[in-house]
Each structure stands twice: as structure tokens, then as C-alpha cells.
Amino acid sequence: MRLILPLAAVALIAAAPPSRPLAVTLSDAEGLLPERYGVSADAANANCLACHSAAMITAQPRLSRVQWGETIAKMRNVYGAPIDPSDDKAILDWLVAD
């Protein structure tokens, strides 16, 4: 009997609807990535902003072209990001522009 009451309480709590609907809102307040030193951000905007905010991307530390290439490969192969391989060069050009 001692075990039944706590289990019943847990079952009631678990079955109760949440007090408000759960939702995820992705902010687009930062807008698009800007052109960088004459290098277009179109490919980065088309591929990267699906998961990352512009503020998050621009706050990243400076990496080499090889390191960014490895990062793009990781996004595609590990996280399943639908990055078009034909956009890799343009994304890399933008990421390392200075």
C-alpha cells in the first residue's frame, strides 16, 4: 500500500497536460549574414542560418580554411545538415574572408 500511493501520484503528474503548450521559437532577429570584404554571404545564409543565428556564426573564433572545412564536413556528416557540397567553397570563402 505504501508503494501504490506514490506510484499513483507520479502517474497523475505524468498524465497531466502541461500548463502551457511547449514550443520552440527560432529568432531571426539578427537577420542575414553580411557580405564580408567583398565576399558574398549568399551560400552561408542559405546553408548555415537553418540551424545557427547570424550572431552565433559571427561570434566564432577565427579558424583556418582547413579547420572550417572540417567543421562543414562535421555539420554535414555528424549532424545531418543538408549543406550542398557545391556551396562548400563559397561558404569557406566567406568564413575566412578578411
Domain boundaries, the chain: 29-96
Contact 50, 81 (CB under 8 A): yes
Calculate ∠ Cα 31-50-74, nearest 5°: 125
Contact 90, 40 (CB under 8 A): yes
Amino acid letter, 1? M
pLDDT confidence of residue 39: 96
Cα 80 to the center of its chain, rounded Å: 11
pLDDT, tens digit (0-9, with 9 covering 90-100), for 3-60? 565 555 555 555 555 666 655 444 454 589 999 999 999 999 999 999 999 999 999 9
CB burial class (10 A; 0-12, 13-18, 19+) of residue 81? middle
Q: What CATH architecture does domain 29-96 belong to?
A: Orthogonal Bundle (1.10)
Q: Provide the whole-model pTM.
A: 0.69
pLDDT confidence of residue 24: 47
pLDDT confidence of residue 98: 86
